Amino acid sequence: MHKVLFSLLLALFMAFQCGATEIGHINSELQISKVLLVDDDDDGYDETDDCPNEFGNSSKDRIGCIDSDGDGYSDPSTNWNLSDGADAFPLQSVA
């Protein structure tokens, strides 16, 4: 009888350990994604930054990307062009 009880407790303990390890794993993944979302380029945007590796103050079409003329629309780049909403005249503010 004691043996059965012991096995049961051992099984419960193992299940608990697995659960705790899993939760710890998820927590550390959350920490890692939090670290990835910090404001690396110091432009004041973190989670909302569309250009996380580029200092910029665009705020209309994209957030936190280079905006040479300061009108809020980001300069066009490799993956972002006029049809996406980029600035048609990046060096000339129309505001």
- Residue ranges binding Ca ion (CB under 5 A): 41, 43, 49, 51, 54, 56, 64, 67, 69, 71, 73, 87
10 versus 88: smaller Cβ distance to Ca ion = 88
Cβ proximity to Ca ion, 33 vs 42, nearer residue = 42
DSSP 6-63: HHHHHHHHHHHHHHHHHHHHHHHHHHHHHHHTS-TT-SS-STT-SSTTS-----SSSS
| Residue nearest Ca ion, CB atom distance | 64
Q: Which residues on adjacent β-strands are paired with residue 80?
A: 77
Nearer to Ca ion, 19 or 44 (CB): 44
